[in-house]
Amino acid sequence: MMSLPLKFIKYDGNPLSIPNYNAVGVIHPDVIYFSEGYDGYKYWMFYTPYPPDSEEEPSLVRSNDGIHFEDAGICNPLVSRGDAVHLADPDVIKVGTTWYMYYMRRYDQNGAINYVIDLATSSDGKKWTKYEKNPVLWQTEEWEIIPENWHIAPKARSVAEPTLYHDGRYFWMWYTGGDNKIGLAKSTDGKNWIKQNSAQPVLEGTPGERDAKGMNHPDVMYYKGKFWMFYVEWSSPRILGLATSVDKVHWKKYQYPILVGEKGKWDESLYRASAAVVNGAIRLYYSGIRDGRPQIGLATSSEL
């Protein structure tokens, strides 16, 4: 493990005001930053209202200062769940003129729980069409099955929580499989995927360490010649960790968490975060949960 290279300071006005519609709260931010703006906005935040499951569908708000977000001109939800239990974990990437949204869909069939990754595409980031051959990624390996002793979804076939990167030629997707391990897949078109590293995890918990129970909800960005992965350490309470890589497969974890919650506060237990580099510093939008209510906040790093 390496020493932490930067420090994050939470925004004094947390949590941010994000529309939750008919849900209890909001969760899983995914932020894209356009330095020159796009369709009149610099910050595009995709997220899901939640709970309950029936309200969890990908939604969008936008901002120019990264603090005050609005849904003007947006018809939420962007993608409807249909007969699925819920649609969660949206991650959006724009390649050329096409927007790609990857998200987790849960469906229950014959008493079995299934988590798969679906795709929707858009020409403007606002109106979306589901890919007709969904899912694009699903469980194929033994490690992608949740253990029987896991209380939330025992024995579920689980491939979820995608995060995307495009290198100019290939799409790369990191995802959470099974019992909190991170896998990697590669695609030429964003639709047909091949699992990498012999279909084995590229990052997992270390026995006896703080992250022994694993990690999930990764968010990966590429900056200054390396990949930065922000992830949730499955501890109690949950905290945010960081690892870096130069080849997408081999990762070096940082010794200390990059962000921890505050007992009794809105972000007592942390959840998925999304990073954007703005003026040489990282703006980290993160989920916090207290008493079953998730909300979204902001923390900003020192300059990289």
Q: 12-56, pLDDT tens digit by residue? A: 999 999 999 999 999 999 999 999 999 999 999 999 999 999 999
Residue 104: the pLDDT is 99
Residues 27 and 296 sit within 8 Å (Cβ to Cβ) = yes
Distance of alpha carbon 62 from alpha carbon 262, whole angstroms: 27
Residues 167 and 158 sit within 8 Å (Cβ to Cβ) = no
Residue 85, burial from CB neighbour count under 10 angstroms (0-12, 13-18, 19+)? middle
- Please confirm whether the linkage preceding 15 is cis (ω < 30° from 0): yes
Residue 3: the pLDDT is 66
Q: Can you read off the two tokens belonging to residue 180?
A: 């909190």
Nearest to 163 by CA among 229, 233, 107: 229
Domains of the chain: 8-303 (2.115.10.20)
Residue 286: the pLDDT is 99
Residue 97: the pLDDT is 98
- Flag residues of the chain having pLDDT under 70: 1-5, 150-152, 304
Residue 2: the pLDDT is 66
The angle subtended at Cα 294 by Cα 290 and Cα 298, nearest 5°, is 100
Q: 76-94, pLDDT tens digit by residue? A: 999 999 999 999 999 999 9
Predicted TM-score (pTM) of the model is 0.97
Question: How many beta carbons lie within 10 A of that of residue 230, not counting itself?
Answer: 23
